[in-house]
Amino acid sequence: EWNSKPVTVLNQKTDEQLSRPYHHHLIYIGSVEEDTKQIRAFLASTENPHVHHVESIDRDRLHSLMVASDGLINCSLSEGQSLTIMEAMLLGVPVIARRNSGNCDLIENNTTGLLFTTPMELKTCLTRLVCEQGLRKKITASARYWIRQPQYRRNNQIEDYDEILSTLLKP
């Protein structure tokens, strides 16, 4: 339970409301690609009734879970342009992501998503998303607009890559 202790957040909630634990579930979907002691420790914690690990699921089920969720968390230490983040933005799902170069290319903090560096910042982001009036709506509307821009359309990306490769392969 990520909100089992009070967190100071500027909003309209009372201290009593912030200190009461929320009963959200964390579902980790996918294989483990970064074998670190933190990830091994996290996977060992799946005995907690609020933490679940699903090895893989089809895209339709993934999108259904994303839409039904409170948000998507991307904790990758390094990332290119995450397709999962872009899908969440298109689906209207708020994104909370680790501050790394790939995620920062997609997310403007507090506008199209929330960025964190430390576990405490992640906790603050999660609390803000639940407690701050209008934050979810603001972020998802901005993210949907942002991700629909021409530079994120597949055909434009293919043309850009083709141009880059053609330039690199010129004698």
Residue 115 tokens read as: 């960025």
Task: Quote the domain boundaries for residue 144.
Answer: 15-24+70-169
Residues 92-146 have pLDDT tens digits of 999 999 998 888 888 999 999 999 999 899 889 988 988 888 999 999 999 999 9
3 occurs within a structural domain: no
6 occurs within a structural domain: no
Residues 48-89 have pLDDT tens digits of 777 777 777 888 888 888 888 888 888 777 766 678 899 999
CATH code at 120?
3.40.50.2000
- Maximum mean pLDDT: which of 131-140, 148-157, 158-167: 131-140
3-state secondary structure 39-97: HHHHHHHHHCCCEEEECCCCHHHHHHHHHHCCCEEECCCCCCCCHHHHHHHHHCCCEEE
Rounded Cα distance, 101 and 11, in Å? 30
pTM for the predicted model, two decimal places:
0.70
43 occurs within a structural domain: no
